Structure 1
Amino acid sequence: MSEPGRVEGGRSAQLKHTGLRPGWTTGACATAAATAAYTALLGGDFPDPVTITLPGGRTPAFALAVEELAGGSATAGVVKDAGDDPDVTHGALVRATVRLLPAGAGVVFRAGPGVGTVTRAGLPLAVGEPAINPVPRRMMREHIAAVAARFGAAGDVEITVGVDRGEELARSTWNPRLGILGGLSILGTTGIVVPYSCSAWIDSIRRGVDVARAAGRTHLAGCTGATSERTAAAVYGLPQDALLDMGDFAGAVLKYVRRHPVPRLTLCGGFAKLSKLAAGHLDLHSARSQVDLAHLAGLARAAGGDEELAAGITAGTTALGALQLALAAGVPLGDQVAVAARDQARSVLRGSPVAVDVLCVDRAGAVVGRSDPESGIPVRAG
């Protein structure tokens, strides 16, 4: 996925508490590079380091890794530091080339090598535009205007943003699925990367829903991983842009679809993760929710299991063990978990006009539980 770009309140306290070092978004790096390039174009010298002002008022300084001044254009490059976040773009070289334009042209953005182009509707940028998001565009415009005022210039420029190896890095992001082709997106709403904030993943889920709706998709599937995604695609014949890489963020999918409904939503995932949803957890990550074996034992009873089975599940250690015990006893625990997860999903949807169903799969992708009967979807018998 691309870099996180959202910061919650209490940032300093949060980061001090976690001991994790924040970093800078690609949007902040592109703004710094564009500011340095335009300064050199007008004044002949690159400011190094170059200082910018972020939307929240912070004023970080960026060292330049590239300085090129030739004719009517200048290029500056900044190496992105994502701090302690496991960000695919950490260490990437973000370049900005600034070229003067005729008076009245304004600020025009171009996609250089490694920056993608929007090819599908549903994103906050028009089809054909470079994938430079609105806040980074605003930041660059504001800094270009400030440099222009300092030198008495008009501020009419073309900014071409590129990222070295960006097309390769983009294969590890949502961009291909969202129809952003040719490279990365230039992202960030605050300019700051908060380690492990998960905001970029959640934002990608939302953009995935937007793109699918714009394409006229009426059935989406939120999947916890690659295995469940393959199962959902095979079972329902869904195209790639109808598949949402939900990961652990079931709540994020449900809340966004509640506000932006589609006729049908399937949640498909591993039995253990969906057993957490069945117990009322909306964040399925192991660090933030645990499998409740007592709850699974109760669901086994509801599915017709006896007290011996319930006791065996409660005394166990894993959701997989619970499922195996139930399968051996002929008790459809997978179906019961799927139904309970569906009911939790309905409660989050709060009456939004979305028909929701749930598929539970095992590690091989076989369906081991479903909330609603579907012809042609056999549940594994054991």
Structure 2
Amino acid sequence: MSRLKRSANRGELRTGFTTGACAAAASAAATRALLTQAFDASVTITLPNGDAASFAVEYLPTEIGVLAQVIKDGGDDPDCTHGLAIQSFVQLEDSQADVTIYGGIGVATVTLPGLELPVGQPAINPVPRANIIAMMERERRHSTTPNQGLSVTISVPEGEQAAKQTISERLGLIGGISILGTRGTVKPFSTSAYAASVRQSIEIGTENGLRAFCLTTGGRTEAAAMKIHSTMQPMQFVQAGDFIGVGLRCAKRCKSDSLHLVVMVGKLCKLISGTMMTHVSGRGIDFELLAQRAELCQIPTHIIEQIRCARTGRQVLDLVRDMPEGQGFLTDLCQLAQQHCSDYIKHEIPVEVTLVDFDGPQLANWQPLTEKPFVEELQ
């Protein structure tokens, strides 16, 4: 496994490495072995962020060239690529001083416009591609053949299977995973990586002629959304998770025609306060505000007091779901959330908010074309 620094503080989470960093390390090791016959058990490279990092390396038998692999360690932020073998097969080429990169088995091919790479190219992003070349050139400079042409094929034997756990195919990335990483390291529960994937999904959809998108908060809400918005294409659904605000801003920047949010009650209860980053570690639910909205919707007083003392959005939903006034209250929450979302993007895109139950059915909805609001706004 890659050698990662462990924090002196046991409470801190452990940083991992990107697929791009693992590919660069395997490529450096394979290049060194090919040009110097030094099959070292570890290799130290310079990451895109300038840090040095060491990786354990394994070598696999091959008739020509050198095949090296590094096992990806995601640290304490394991995703579907954690534990995968990232392989680099380096061969000599006749061309002088060039390094040519190919995508092998388990590395996706770009089939739709809108990414940083041209259609038809392997999904090895520009930063890791540059890092792979730089590390191979470093090894070449320290050999006796500094001008030797080289080719490298990056493969991930289990990449196609791992990609089934992602939305890669929806983005036109077919046949495996992408080789990614602008820094080389993976911060545990990285917000930047997730936010980037939300933006990328909307940008690719826009590039492919789509003008409306549906933001969901995960797999269950997406499944519900696909039933509600059954005429929309799969590429129009974006799992924004806690990054609703990122999706809103990107849709505004891409000049989308409309935006649809499908959420469960916990996220909705945060959106009504204008919280566009809804992670559990962030700003909590304002139960006092929920109680005030319940009062405006004529929820019985004893239920209002229970709402005020509630601990979760689900508890609030369970309190009102079966009462006659409950539907109006849930609709009012959708309206308030819709207004905050619309304010967030300066009313440039029509936004619709739909609340779904935990097993999928729609509970309430609000969209700009609704004839009149359910209740007056709080003064």
Instruction: Indicate whether the TM-score tops 0.5.
Output: yes
Kindly provide the CA deviation profile for residues 103-132 of structure 1, in whole angstroms up to 9, marking residues without a partner as x.
Answer: 258332222111111111111111111111
Amino acid at match of 2:362: V
Work out whether residues 107 and 158 of structure 1, in 8 Å CA contact, stay in contact via their aligned partners in 2: yes
Distance 2:11 2:170 in 1: 33
Equivalent residue for 2:27?
Answer: 34
Q: 1:202-251: per-residue Cα shift (whole Å, max 9, x none)?
A: 22111111111112111100001223212322222211110001122212
Instruction: Report the number of matched residues.
Output: 362
Q: Secondary structure at the match of 2:46?
A: coil
3-state SS in 2 of match to 1:60: strand
**1:52, distance to aligned residue in structure 2 (A):** 0.6
What SS is found at the alignment partner of 1:45?
Answer: coil
The answer as to 2:93 corresponding to 1:101 is yes
State the partner residue of 2:235: 241
Q: 1:127 aligns with which of 107, 114, 119?
A: 119
How far apart, CA to CA, are the structure 2 residues paired with 1:243 and 1:282? 18
Task: Give 1:338's match in structure 2, choosing from 331, 334, 337.
Answer: 334
Contact 1:232–1:238 (CA<8 Å) still a contact in 2? no
Distance 2:148 2:247 in 1: 42
Once the two structures are superposed, what CA deviation does each residue of 1:249-302 show, in whole Å capped at 9, x if it has no partner?
Answer: 212212322332311111111022111111122222223243322111122233
Say whether 1:303 aligns with 2:303. Answer: no
**Cα contact 2:285–2:313 (8 A) shared by 1:** yes
SS class of match (2:88): strand
The Cα shift of 1:158 comes to 2.0
Give distance in 1, aligned partners of 2:219 and 2:79.
20
SS in 2 for 1:70: coil
Aligned counterparts, 1:14-53, within 5 A: 18-53=11-46
- The answer on whether the counterparts of 1:358 and 1:372 sit within 8 Å (CA) in structure 2 is yes
How far, CA to CA, are the matches of 2:295 and 2:6 in structure 1? 46
Match of 2:373 in 1: none
Q: CA deviation at 1:308?
A: 4.5
CA distance in 2, matches of 1:371, 1:13: 48
Quick one: which amino acid aligns to residue 208 of structure 1?
S
Give the secondary-structure state (helix, strand or coil) at the position aligned to 1:52: strand
Task: Choose 294-303 or 115-124, whichever is displaced more.
Answer: 294-303
Alignment of 1:152-231 (within 5 A): 152-154=145-147, 156-231=149-224
Partner residue of 1:354? 349
- Taking the aligned partners of 1:281 and 1:95, their CA distance within structure 2 comes to 43
> Contact conserved, 1:300 with 1:326, CA < 8 A, in 2?
no
Paired residue secondary structure (1:108): strand
* Structure 1 residues 105 and 346: alpha-carbon distance in aligned structure 2, compared to 1, 3 A threshold: farther
Match of 1:315 in 2: 309
Map of 1:80 onto structure 2: 72
- 1:13 offset after TM fit, Å? 12
SS at 2:113's partner residue? coil
Contact 1:246 / 1:253 at 8 angstroms: preserved in 2?
yes
Can you give the 5+ residue segments of structure 1 that lack an aligned partner in the other structure? 1-11, 376-382
Contact kept? 2:298, 2:325, Cα under 8 Å:
no
Tell me the distance in 2 between the aligned counterparts of 1:320 and 1:80.
38
CA distance 1:159–1:238, shift in 2 (3 Å): same
SS at match of 2:34: helix
Aligned residues of 1:323 and 1:333 also touching (Cα < 8 A): no
Give CA-to-partner distance per residue, 1:279-335, whole Å, 9 cap, x none.
Answer: 122222223243322111122233344544432422344323433444404241111
CA, structure 1 residues 292+80, in 2 after alignment: closer, same or farther (shift >3 Å)?
same
Q: How many Å separate the matches in 2 of 1:297 and 1:203? A: 36
**Partners of 2:272 and 2:336 within 8 A in 1:** yes
Q: Please provide the CA RMSD for this pair.
A: 2.4
Aligned-residue offset at 1:161: 0.6
**Out of 127, 130, 135, which is 1:143 matched to?**
135
Deviation (angstroms), 1:142: 1.1
Distance change in 2, residues 1:74/1:180 (3 Å): same
Residue type matched to 1:140 in 2? I
CA contact (8 A) 1:88 1:172 kept: yes
Is contact 1:80-1:92 (8 Å) kept?
A: yes
Deviation at 1:93, TM superposition (A): 1.0
Stretch of structure 1 that moved more, 313-322 or 250-259: 313-322
Counterpart AA for 2:257? P
TM-score, L = length of structure 1: 0.87
Inter-partner Cα distance in structure 1 for 2:246 and 2:8: 23
Q: Which runs of 5+ in 2 are unaligned?
A: 371-379
Deviations 1:55-112 (A, max 9, x none): 22221121112244633x2111111122221222222111001122232583322221
Greater CA drift, 247-256 or 356-365: 247-256
The residue identity in structure 2 corresponding to 1:102 is: D
